[in-house]
Amino acid sequence: MTIIMVLSVSVSVYADETSPVATRGDIVTTLLTAADAYQPGINKATVIQGSKNGDLRENEPAKKVEALVMLSRAFGELPEPVGNDLRSGTFDIEFTDVPAWAKKDIDKLTKAGVLTGNADGTLGANDTITIAEFQNIIARIWSLKGSHLNDDFYEAINKEWLNKSTIPVGEIMGGGFPELQKENTDKIEEIINALSGKEFAEGTKEQKIADFYSTALDTKNRNKQGIEPIQKYVKAINEAKTLDELVQADLAQEKELGLSSLFGFAIMNDAKNSSENALYYAGLATGLDKNSFVTEDANAKNAYIEYMTKLLVVSGEEESTAKALAEQVYEMEKSLASVSLDPHEQGDVNKYYNPYTIQQFDDMFKTVDMKQVLTSMKVDSADKVIVFDLKLAEKGAEVLNDTNLHVLKAYSKVQLLMATGSLLSDEFGDAANEFAATLYGVTGEKTEQENAVALTTSTMSGYLEQMFAEKHFSPNAKKDVEQMVEKLITTYEERIKSLDWMSETTKAKAIKKLDTMIVKIGYPDKWDATLDNVAIKTYDEGGSLFSNTFAVNKAYIENTKAKLGKPVDRSEWVTSVYTVNAFYNALNNEITFPAGILQAPFYDINAKPEENYGAIGMVIGHEISHAFDNNGSAYDENGNANNWWTDEDFEKFKDKNQKLIEFYNAIEIIPGVLNDGQLTLSENVADLGGMAASLQVVSQMSNPDYKAYFESNAEMWKSTTTKEFAAVLSKNDVHSANKIRVNRTIVNFQQFYDTYGIKAGDGMYVAPEDRVSIW
């Protein structure tokens, strides 16, 4: 019994942080199971050789180098890393402490990209190694081989694609989502190209799209203009002699462009009265994520300071002055970021809902007349301001002072230039591209045409998404998906009724929330008409890419401001129709599935039902589950933050959430980068609930094809990205890495074990008592 337990734990892909130091015997026992599928017939003598006198010293703690040499022997020849493995592995390391007898095996593992070392260039050859550390290295080998789905399902199903995978030029990732987004972009480009260069009556949709696209393509005129479109705003910032003058310059800029560098407000449902629109204050923005600031990430710091320096130089500053100002802006932003909410806290209504009366809000700012700011920005009809991030707002109020004026002026210019650079001359875009290349590992640049299509797609979406929906999303598909959603909601209700940890009182409230959930499929019932009132002009007519873009942006901002204090229109969509994503909005208690994601391979009306349920069905269940995750569960059926739980049930719910945190935590994404179970909790709850509901629908089919379901799910999440961006996501993205979303979720369902014969000792095996579930 003890041996079985050791085998099961020792090859699990879940790395327990309390893992004990491994003995030489533990290493052998682990490898005989872990490598058996890759070297059939492997035996103990192959793995461990011991001293010259034959003493294997199995009870001694294993040195790291000994464990790695045994690993090398156990797995034999390793594939040459290509594609995703080449991007994610760690290469070109010359360890300084590897003994001669181990060099051949260590070199082999290093060439395979599966080893990481210490900051001083050592391997830590004579250090001990824990079971958990060793598991991680084994999991890297499984991933590299990708030939045995019992050990790494995601890699085995997607290995051919992963090996051939590329990241498109100028992009940050490749995979199922980006590939479909590219297909949608190509379809939109066809629509744009069919209009480009033709004459249309002024004021028509076709004329506005064609003329906007022409200004987006016209780099000659854009480069000729240089910084001229924003020169007066830069000049006003430069000439500010006091904080008040800087504030007035900012408000004048906001009045003309709808763009403020110093005051970030938003208008959306009041979280405590979701039928009305309320005013929220976001605080001063920062150019890097909190983690990069707090950890003083050297690469991020240098890249950001260099980026800001280039922007300030282009705006007219001397190089040395620009560098000094950029460094000061960095320090100011660091002081802001260090007190701000962590990423996982930002969706917690108890953290982000901080209502202030107008007087209280004004009192927070000792040096700025916030009542005048609200009046100038035409949001003074609000009876309160809800502060998103209280400590960030307080720190922002503190840094807004005359002593800090020179830094605030530089900050304002940087914010303005970052917001408008893509609409100005190439030197601004070049600086942004260099920043992305350094920080995220992006290689190459998009063509001028690709950039023009992207700008047109985002700015003119009010018209283009209508054309996209008419051409690429059939009424039959809409009806079919609506039926899937209905079936999944019904299934979810059945699952809630059968829960053994929730009382009938709370179940009734949860079911009521399900029954009143708003469902949006494909495209809105009524199209937004904001663009109808915007004039788009070519350069020959006195227009520009800059003026056209901000004419559109300002129109949308003014429409949003007009909603303040008014009833919420719950029929409105908050995303474009061609977006490859899906959403749950807790404030409306609604789920949205744009036509953009309702395409193959996520959804295909001609595919097997099991395939559709493994892909879009799981996504639908995922979005439904967000109504009941750690954040969404705080809102009632009307979208109001309102506790509908009994105390006892909520304690049980919190316990289950804690188990999920632990279950998804500290799993390696790429060498040296770990998944954060706390950060990703809400999405893990949704993934688990989405699979439970969609799998239950499949289980009720006649002779269900579970292979089609599970493999469709794994293929949906296929993804590749740069090593740099994977590390950034691990600290900031509330979603687990895609591989973990597959491998760590499917292991909680018995159908997976039965379908593929997963057994104790396999990498994908989790004992029944260790599996997790909520919904």
Reduce the secondary structure of 307-366 to three states and give it as a string: HHHHHHHHCCCCHHHHHHHHHHHHHHHHHHHCCCCCHHHCCCHHHHCEEEEHHHHHHHCC
In angstroms, the CA 688 to CA 685 distance is: 5
In angstroms, the CA 531 to CA 461 distance is: 9
Cβ–Cβ under 8 Å, residues 145 and 763: no
In angstroms, the CA 515 to CA 775 distance is: 16
Helices (H), ranges, 165-242:
176-195, 205-217, 219-225, 228-239
Which two tokens mark 3? 């041996």
Parallel, antiparallel, or unpaired: how do β-strands 173-175 and 273-281 relate?
unpaired
| DSSP tag of 62 | P
Residue with tokens 């594939």: 79
Cβ–Cβ under 8 Å, residues 357 and 370: no
Parallel, antiparallel, or unpaired: how do β-strands 518-522 and 384-387 relate?
unpaired
Other CB atoms within 10 A of residue 385 CB: 23
Other CB atoms within 10 A of residue 105 CB: 17
DSSP string, 548-612: HHHHHHHHHHHHHHHTTTSBP-TT--SS-TT-S--EEETTTTEEEEETTTSSTTT--TTS-HHHH
- 3 state SS of 413: helix
Cβ–Cβ under 8 Å, residues 546 and 420: yes
Which two tokens mark 109? 């593992």
In angstroms, the CA 210 to CA 541 distance is: 14
Q: Which residues does the chain have with pLDDT short of 70?
A: 1-18
Q: Which fold has domain 228-423?
A: Neutral endopeptidase; domain 2 (1.10.1380)
> Phi and psi at residue 400, in whole multiples of 5°?
-80, 85
Distance of alpha carbon 51 from its chain centroid, rounded?
Answer: 51
Alpha-carbon torsion angle 272, 277, 280, 286, nearest 10:
120
What pLDDT, on a 0 to 100 scale, did the predictor assign at position 404?
A: 96
Which two tokens mark 555? 């129109």
Of 122, 194, 98, the closest CA to residue 471 belongs to 194
In angstroms, the CA 624 to CA 592 distance is: 10
Of 15, 119, 21, 30, the closest CA to residue 75 belongs to 30
- 3 state SS of 53: coil
Which two tokens mark 403? 């002593």
Cβ–Cβ under 8 Å, residues 527 and 467: no
What pLDDT, on a 0 to 100 scale, did the predictor assign at position 18?
A: 60
What pLDDT, on a 0 to 100 scale, did the predictor assign at position 49?
A: 86
Angle formed at CA 655 by CA 653 and CA 658, multiple of 5 degrees: 110
Residue 635: burial class (beta carbons within 10 Å; 0-12, 13-18, 19+): buried
In angstroms, the CA 723 to CA 728 distance is: 9
Q: For the domain with range 175-182+462-637+644-770, which CATH number is right: 3.40.390.10, 3.40.462.20, 3.40.50.1820, 1.10.1060.10?
A: 3.40.390.10
Spell out the domain ranges in the chain.
Answer: 2-145, 175-182+462-637+644-770, 228-423
Helices (H), ranges, 441-503:
448-459, 461-472, 475-497
Burial 748-775 (b: 16+ CB within 10 A, else e): bbebbbebbebeebbbbbbeeebebbbb
Beta bridge partners of 720: 174
Other CB atoms within 10 A of residue 6 CB: 16
Kindly report whether the global pTM for this prediction surpasses the value 0.75: yes
Which two tokens mark 456? 């047109």
pLDDT digits (tens, 9 = 90+) for 616-665: 999 999 999 999 999 999 999 999 999 999 999 999 999 999 999 999 99
In angstroms, the CA 292 to CA 298 distance is: 8
Helices (H), ranges, 56-150:
64-75, 83-88, 103-111, 131-145
Q: Which residues contact 630 (CB under 8 A, 6 or more apart)?
A: 348, 657, 681, 682, 685
> Measured between alpha carbons, how far apart are the two ends of the chain, in Å?
32
Cβ–Cβ under 8 Å, residues 593 and 606: no
Cβ–Cβ under 8 Å, residues 361 and 255: no
Cβ–Cβ under 8 Å, residues 409 and 306: no
Instruction: Give me the amino acid identity at 169.
Output: V
What pLDDT, on a 0 to 100 scale, did the predictor assign at position 92?
A: 86
Of 716, 739, 767, 752, the closest CA to residue 180 belongs to 716
